[in-house]
Structure 1
Amino acid sequence: MTFKDIAIKNFKFNVKRYISYIGCSLFSITVLFIYSTLLYNKEIERAVKHTPIEGMINMIFGALVVFSFVFISYSYISFTKSRGKEFGLFLTLGMTKKDINRIIRVENSLIVIISLIVGLLIATVFSRVFFMIIVRILNIGIEGYALSYKSYILTSGVFLVSLLIILILTKFYIGKLEITDIIKVSRKGDIYKGYRPLLGILGLILLILSFLLMYFTFTGKISKRTGGMVSLYIIMCLVGLYLTISQFGNILIYFTKKNKEIYFRNIIGLTDISYRFRQYKNILYTITVLSATVVFFIGLCYGVYMGIPDMIKAEQPYDMMYIETNTRNNIPSAELDKILKSGDTKLTEKKHMEFLQMKIATRQKGQYRWWTRFIPIISDQILKEILEVDIDVSRGKAILWKTSDEVMSLSENEKSIKVSDEASGKAYDFQLQGEGSGAFINKSADSTHFIIIDNQDYQRVLKDISKSKVGEFHLFNFKDWKKTESIHDKLLEKILKVNNISTDKDKYQLRYAWKLRLNFVSKVVEYNAMLKENGFYLFIMIFIGLLFFISSGVVLYFKIYNDIEIGKKRYRKLLKVGITDIEMKKIISKELKVMFFIPLIMGSFIGIGYIAIMMMDISIYSELILNSIIVVAIYFLFQMVFYFITKKKYIAEVIE
């Protein structure tokens, strides 16, 4: 009998185990191929170019590659470890480790052929559905659907490279084990690793402390918000989470021992939970992190998507706005009126507000820092008369204003503001009276900050400087803003023409063309763009969330499946001390409930906690939290279904 015959016979005998592993490979191939169709479609590439979606697509594909490698490697390693006795038997019969590796290579050759052929066929069918969903979300007019050979090459390459790395690691794993180690590999988890409840309590303290520090940092009470500080708090949270999960069962025992009646009534369940958490700590930790990631990203995307109408209302008080300066957007009044009256809805309000455009510097530690961004200077009286915004500024002082709370402040530790006219060389100093936030005009890339000064100071500066430094905000409202897209298109065309700008970017891509400085924003375009972008983000996050959910389910499945023999032995031992089938089923149910729902509960708290802290400044904060809770509820429903299916199968295998 050749090695090929042994491998094939072994494959037939262990077909159920192989099906699980092949299923994981098929899943990874399908996901990679389906998503790769986005990378090699020219129409989608054109539609998302120069937008945040372009970077999102590339970043997510990189994440999927890493996910596929981890997913396949874990399933294969679990599959290999479950065959410990089989390898031990081969070695006992005289095979060498080299022979076992040859068998593994033959087996995996069969798996690769089956997985690639079946996986690419399945992916080819489902990729069209995925593609059409993306096209619908992005609102791209694509008539036909075409597959690229690059998708097949890329998917096959990633899968084969992942498998090659896994086989190399498996070779080292087999090479380091002796016969007795391989035979007993499934029993190593029985070793008791210590009763350290105080270590778990320390983990809880680290968890709570990381959230408190994150909160105080985002509210500016202890330190300046930086990427390094946030990363440190996340690491602290992850370390605390691991310590908590590794000692979770011991923490329960530690506290229940304080009430002897409760402890002795639940002693079997408590010790069983403690045992499971010791044995499953790495898996439960991974599932908790995956759950937190899913809740955070899907909750955030879903909350923002559902809150788009409220965000538009808060950030875009006028249906249309453009900024005119001495050199930009100089549209004659007659032509402007003609465009505004050319749409399907009636113009109801038209306002023009003057501002000064000068060089701005803020003072920090005795030195001035000059800003290159566009920061208009506005009179408090003009603001009150034109926009009916009641803000009073004292003589010689200034207020720094942000269009929304989430916009980064420019006034931290600053005491004064200097404005300068380069043409005349004159400069003016103003003491900082304070700062505020709120959208009294439309939020855009070129209108996030303002300097508001007293009207007498404003008139004094206006008298001294060149008229070329005077600009104007043009603000318009219509009867039905959702019907203003045609007006926007005509006004955009006119703005491009008067500024002598020629571009192949569409109106959505031009929102990110900051270097062109169009200074033009429309509520309907912002609304449609936000729906498109956030709809895409939400779909992708749900897609990734399903991957994480399936992967966490597979991780639990492999671990539970590998421990069925251990469960049967435990059941036989408990039978000898008088435990009935009904009692055993209750013990198993409690055990599985803890494994399935504690990681989800902890992950949900972490995910929603980070949303609550990081998004405090967003205008739709309460709606965001509520929608995040809805995501958690849906996640729990899916997990309950998976729990009942697993419980039924596990009880049937162990008891019946």
Structure 2
Amino acid sequence: MNFLQFAFNNVRRNARAYFAYFLSSAFMVMIFFTYAMFIFHPGIAQSEMGRMTSIGMEVAEYIIFVFSILFVLFSIGSFLKARSKEFGVLSLLGATTGSINRLVFLENLIIGIGSIVAGLAGGLLLSKLFLLLSVKVTGMNRLPFYMPWKAMGFTAIAFLVLFAVLSVFTLVFFRKNQVIELLGGSSKPKTEPRVSWVLALLGVALLASAVLLLKGGEGLDFPKVMMAAATGIWGTYFFYTQVTVALIRLLRRSRRLLWRGTRLLWVSEMAYKIKDNARMLFMVTVAISLACMSVGVILAAQAQNERIYEGDPFAFSYGIYEEEFVEADVAWIDQQLSEQGIRYETIEQESFSGYLGTMESYVKVYSRSEYNKAAALLGKEMLPEIGKGQSVAHAMEGSAAERMLKGKTIPLTLSILGEPMELELLPNEVPLIGSNSYTSVVVLSDADFTELKNGLTEENQNRLYRDIEIYVPSWQHKGAPRLQDPEIVIGKRLFHGMMNRLENKVTDNYMSSRGRSYAETREQLSMLSFVGIFIAAIFSVSSASFLYFKLYSELNQDRRMYHSLSKIGLGDREMRYSSSLQIALLFFIPVVISGIQTMVVLSLLGARFLLGDVTVPVLTATGAFLAAQLLYYVVVRSRYVVQLKRVMV
């Protein structure tokens, strides 16, 4: 038997340990390859949407590769520690450090090459489905299948270099260990988990400071967000390394709670497991939190996009900036809609733009008469009289302005005024309609609005906005439209036609389309969803693999412990309950912590980024990860319990 066969047999005999690592690596290679196949597709360059999607997938490639580096580095290190006793025996039999290094390098290379071959094969089998799915989700033209030789070569070389370089890098482990340490393996007695109450309190303080930084108010900016992220990450690290140990130590002081059934066994053992696995649990939590936040933001943005569309009753809004072009523009719009057989009605409105409290709380300001004109056109209930100094307001759900409508007064700031107007806020006896696709509404009395108009100087006459709103009765359906619906198709055509008129100096006025805005946002979010869903899947699979590796490295120790306990009366049922509960806590604690972090972060940032109510999106994203983790738990727990059952007396 030559050296290569020896390395191959070692991999084969340790197949149970390497199987999850092999599958996870192959899955990463497959996703990386399918993205590369899309990027190198010859039809991508012919579509603007394809180029945008290609850029998004290139970013995803970098993320996948960086995460693959961390995954492979962690996995190889875990396996080397788990097999340290085996390497110690080889050293006693005369194997030199160079021979063991060569053996480890060949083993990792064998697994790496196998993962690359399996990943490329899986990618090729699913390539047709991937191209069809990408076209369906992103809304691009049909992409025919092609033989992706360039993508295959690029993927194979990238991951071959990755496995080779990291295999060499991890060999430093052996140079720091004597033979006696290697022979000890994982059987060395563990010291009692210690806790630093200073670091535990620091962890709680860091998590609290992250929340306070995200509240931010007017001072919330990018540096503060990054500082909040850094303090949150460090707080999570100290939570696992210190706070959890402190909580378990406090729990162990209560004999009434602890000395019942198998609680003494699994609680005591969890103190060691959480302390030993703190860094791994921290990495898993950060990975799942990032994935949960990404998925939650996309889901919240999709829901908000639909709410914005449904809250805007007007199909088009024509903004008047130069009076001389109005007649020609209106005639052109009428011609475009009439050619399509679209029946419509118009209304001209005057308004101011302002904000409530902070610059983030953007609102449109109308008089009661202007508002009632729109309500009459739409068949909605009209507003009753509004007194001078009073107002009625409607804030878009999830907007920053929504928080400003909790009191009895509102501070309305306009660019034409030196000081904000303090207005009495009347209750909404009549449900207000939205003004357009992205703003909240404040309605003033006619007297207050007229006073604002009369106070305009020649320099700020342009602060009074005039719009012609176009209402299409046949497009007032419930729910969001499909991308093939007439409103989307015609809306894009009219918008681009008006933009051409602007570029050709035919007009200086502007036209927005409700359908086009909805469709473009949906297309962008679809592309992000398509890219993000696979990255989230990689994070999920990798986090489960991390946990599997750590459990496998502790398997021999758990075997010895349960074998000894079985001699003094521990039964199979107690063993299954205790081990299952410990595994469940390791699998589900990171998901629960990630879900809480995601809910807190997106709730605080939701109004700033117009995400609306994030509760359902966050619960959906967290629930998806929880379901995936449950599947991994069932598989890992069954295999683990079978191994422990074999040593029970």
- Note if 1:432 corresponds to 2:427: no
Contact 1:292/1:605 (8 A) holds in 2 = no
Please show how residues 388-399 of structure 1 align to structure 2 within 5 Å. none
* SS of equivalent residue, structure 2 residue 584: helix
Instruction: Describe the SS at the equivalent of 2:186.
Output: helix
Write the letter of the residue equivalent to 2:522: L
Deviation at 1:186, TM superposition (A): 2.7
CA separation of 1:376 and 1:185: change in aligned 2, threshold 3 A: closer
- 8 Å CA contact retained: 1:323, 1:472: yes
- Counterpart of 2:316, as a letter, is M
Given that 2:33 and 2:152 are in contact with CA atoms closer than 8 Å, whether structure 1 keeps it comes out as: yes
SS of the residue corresponding to residue 484 of structure 1 reads helix
The whole-number CA distance in structure 1 between the counterparts of 2:554 and 2:189 is 10
Match of 1:640 in 2: 630
Q: Distance in 1 between matches of 2:419 and 2:374?
A: 25
Is 1:224 aligned to 2:219, yes or no?
yes
Distance apart, 1:36 and its partner CA: 1.6
Residue 279 of structure 1 corresponds to which residue in structure 2? 276
2:339 partner SS:
coil
The aligned counterpart of 1:597 is 588
Deviation at residue 159 of structure 1 after TM alignment:
0.7
Bigger shift: residues 134-143 or 104-113: 104-113
- The residue matched to 2:328 in structure 1 has which SS? coil
**Which residue number corresponds to residue 525 of structure 1?**
516
**Which structure 2 residue ranges, 5 or more long, are not aligned?**
376-381, 403-410, 426-431, 476-480
Higher alpha-carbon deviation: 245-254 or 48-57: 48-57
Following superposition, the deviation at residue 51 of structure 1 comes to 8.8
Code of the residue aligned with 2:626 in structure 1: it is F
- CA 256–627 in structure 1, closer or farther in 2 if over 3 Å, else same: same
Distance in 1, Cα, partners of 2:326 & 2:66:
48
CA distance in 2 between partners of 1:552 and 1:486 (Å): 43
Task: Tell me, yes or no, if the aligned pair for 1:248 and 1:277 is still in contact at 8 Å.
Answer: no
| Structure-to-structure mapping, 1:90-169, within 5 angstroms | 90-142=90-142, 144-169=144-169
SS at structure 2 position matched to 1:134: helix
Q: Which amino acid is 1:224 matched to?
A: G
Residues 464-497 of structure 1 deviation map (CA, whole Å, 9 limit, x = unaligned): 4699998742211111325334543553354244
Which stretch of the first structure deviates more once superposed, 400-409 or 249-258? 400-409
Partner SS, residue 331 of structure 1: helix
Structure 2 counterpart of 1:169, one-letter code: F
SS of the aligned residue for 2:146 comes to: coil
Task: Report the counterpart of residue 475 of structure 1 in structure 2.
Answer: 469
Q: Distance in 2 between matches of 1:536 and 1:479?
A: 31
- Equivalent residue runs for 1:417-566 within 5 Å: 430-433=418-421, 440-443=434-437, 454-459=449-454, 461=456, 464=458, 472-481=466-475, 483-492=486-495, 494-501=497-504, 519-566=510-557
Is 1:301 the equivalent of 2:289? Answer: no
2:340 matched to 1:352? Answer: no
Q: Tell me the secondary structure at the aligned position of residue 95 of structure 2.
A: coil
Report SS of the residue matched to 1:157.
Answer: helix
* Stretch of structure 1 that moved more, 61-70 or 79-88: 79-88
The size of the alignment, in residue pairs, is 608
Tell me the amino acid that sits aligned with residue 215 of structure 2: F
Q: After alignment, is 48-57 or 602-611 more displaced?
A: 48-57
Contact 1:24 1:75 in 2 (8 A): no
Alignment deviations for residues 113-155 of structure 1 (CA, whole Å, 9 cap, x no partner): 4333332122122232222111101222225222443312321
- Residues 392 and 40 of structure 1: is their aligned pair in 2 closer, same or farther, counting only changes over 3 Å? farther
Letter in 2 for 1:318: F
Offset of 1:625 from its aligned partner? 0.7
User: Which amino acid in 1 is paired with 2:346?
Assistant: K
Which one-letter code corresponds to 1:478 in the other structure? Answer: V
The answer to whether the 8 A contact 1:585-1:651 is kept is: yes
User: What is the Cα deviation at residue 54 of structure 1?
Assistant: 5.8
Distance (Å, rounded) in 2 between the aligned partners of 1:567 and 1:498: 75
Cα distance between partner residues in 2 of 1:518 and 1:116: 57
Q: SS of 1:474's equivalent?
A: strand
SS at match of 1:579: coil
Q: Are the equivalent residues in 2 in contact too, given 1:200–1:243 (CA < 8 A)?
A: yes
Return the match for 2:309 from 292, 305, 312: 312
Q: Partner letter of residue 261 of structure 1? A: R
Which of residues 607, 610, 617 is equivalent to 1:627? 617
TM-aligned CA deviation for residue 418 of structure 1: 6.5
Q: Structure 1 CA distance, aligned partners of 2:539 and 2:243?
A: 23
SS of structure 2 residue aligned to 1:321: strand
**Secondary structure in 1 matching 2:615:** helix
User: Percentage identity across aligned positions?
Assistant: 18
Separation of aligned partners in 2, 1:118 and 1:50: 28
Q: Closer, same or farther in 2 for the Cα pair 1:493/1:237, shift >3 Å?
A: closer
TM-superposed deviation, 1:191: 3.6
Q: Deviations over 1:37-88 (max 9, x none)?
A: 2322354455455997565333222211111212222222222222212221
What amino acid maps onto 2:524 in structure 1?
E
TM-score normalized by structure 2? 0.80
**Per-residue CA shift, 1:370-403, capped at 9, x if unaligned?**
x9xxx999885774575569899989xxxx9998
Residue 244 (structure 1) aligned with residue 232 (structure 2): no
TM-score normalized by the length of structure 1: 0.80
Structure-2 residue corresponding to 1:506: none
Deviation of the 1:342 alpha carbon: 3.0
In structure 1, the partner of 2:558 is 567
Is the 1:24–1:72 Cα contact (8 Å) retained in structure 2?
Answer: no
2:603 is the counterpart of 1:612: yes
Looking at structure 2, the residues matched to 635 and 607 of structure 1 have their Cα atoms a distance apart, in angstroms, of 12
For residue 323 of structure 1, the aligned residue among 307, 319, 326 is 319
Q: Which amino acid aligns with 2:317?
A: M
- Amino acid corresponding to residue 433 of structure 1 in structure 2: M
Distance between the aligned counterparts of 1:354 and 1:418, measured in 2? 16
CA distance in 2, matches of 1:120, 1:248: 44
Looking at structure 2, the residues matched to 282 and 242 of structure 1 have their Cα atoms a distance apart, in angstroms, of 7
The alignment partner of 2:319 has SS state of strand
Partner of 1:268: 265
The residue identity in structure 2 corresponding to 1:558 is F
Residue 12 of structure 1 deviates from its aligned partner by: 4.0
Unaligned runs of 5+ residues in structure 1 are 365-370, 420-428, 503-515
User: Are the counterparts in 2 of residues 28 and 68 from structure 1 also a CA contact under 8 Å?
Assistant: yes
Tell me the distance in 1 between the aligned counterparts of 2:325 and 2:565: 84
CA distance in 1, matches of 2:287, 2:213: 20
1:582 paired with 2:582, answer no
RMSD value, Cα = 4.3
Q: Which moved more, 1:333-342 or 1:28-37?
A: 333-342
Q: CA 1:228–1:166 in 2, change beyond 3 Å: closer, same or farther?
A: same
Summarize deviations over 1:346-381 as a string: whole Å, max 9, x none.
21x302235799xx9xxx9xxxxxx9xxx9998857
SS of aligned partner of 1:352: strand
CA distance, structure 2, for counterparts of residue 106 and residue 618 of structure 1: 50
Task: Find the aligned partners of 1:632 and 1:117 in 2 and give their Cα distance.
Answer: 33
CA–CA separation in structure 1 for the residues paired with 2:366 and 2:330? 24
Q: In the alignment, is residue 59 of structure 1 matched against residue 59 of structure 2?
A: yes
Aligned twin of 2:40: 40
Amino acid at match of 2:620: I
| Alignment check: 8 A CA contact 1:203 1:240 kept | yes
AA partner of residue 591 (structure 1): Q
Q: Kindly indicate whether the alpha-carbon contact (under 8 Å) linking 1:353 and 1:474 is maintained by their aligned counterparts in 2.
A: yes
